[in-house]
Amino acid sequence: MQFNWENIGIKTRVEKNVLYFFDPIRKRYLQTTPEEEVRQWIIHFLIHQKNFPISNISVEKQITYLNRKKRFDILIYKNAKPLFLIECKAPTVAVNQEVLNQICTYNFVLSVPYLLVTNGESQICCRMNLEQKTYQFLTTIPDYKSL
């Protein structure tokens, strides 16, 4: 999946020569940063291409792991249970083992079966078998109905 910014429908505004994106989950404009661009693109992709309900998406919430405060990027719920955890990185940050370790740390707390790490240019998506402590890499991001 390669991000294509043309005509995807993200609302923007400019104030004092600074570009802002409208986040449909948090319902406010946020100053663009490379990571925020990736986050907003994946949110838009999930809603409009993969049919994820807006009401089931949580963005940038705090969790605690080993008495340390952490903040995940995106968490998807289904039937009121956490299901899909997404970590967004700036396009200049490599999607590698270090980033995969970061999302796995969050997953020790959340215990979700699907993980996605993306920088807008490359991604790793996997399905976790939490009981057997195994995982399977996926070639595409699943539709909401198939989760």
Euclidean distance between CA atoms 132 and 113, whole angstroms? 12
DSSP H or E run through 135: strand 134-138
**All domains in the chain, ordered by first residue:** 33-146 (3.90.1570.30)
Q: How many secondary structure helices (H) and strands (E) does the chain include?
A: 2, 11
Residue 133: what pLDDT?
Answer: 83
Q: What is the mean pLDDT of residues 31-53?
A: 93
What is the distance of C-alpha 117 from the center of its chain? 7
Residue 98: what pLDDT?
Answer: 93
Residue 20: what pLDDT?
Answer: 92
Q: Which residues pair with 18 in a beta bridge?
A: 15
Q: Which residues pair with 23 in a beta bridge?
A: 28
Q: What predicted TM-score, i.e. pTM, was given to this entire model?
A: 0.90
Model confidence band, residue 27 (pLDDT cutoffs 50, 70, 90): very high
Query: Which of helix, strand or coil describes residue 125?
Result: strand
Q: What is the mean pLDDT of residues 6-15?
A: 79
Model confidence band, residue 10 (pLDDT cutoffs 50, 70, 90): confident
Q: What is the mean pLDDT of residues 81-104?
A: 95
**Start-to-end C-alpha separation, the chain:** 19
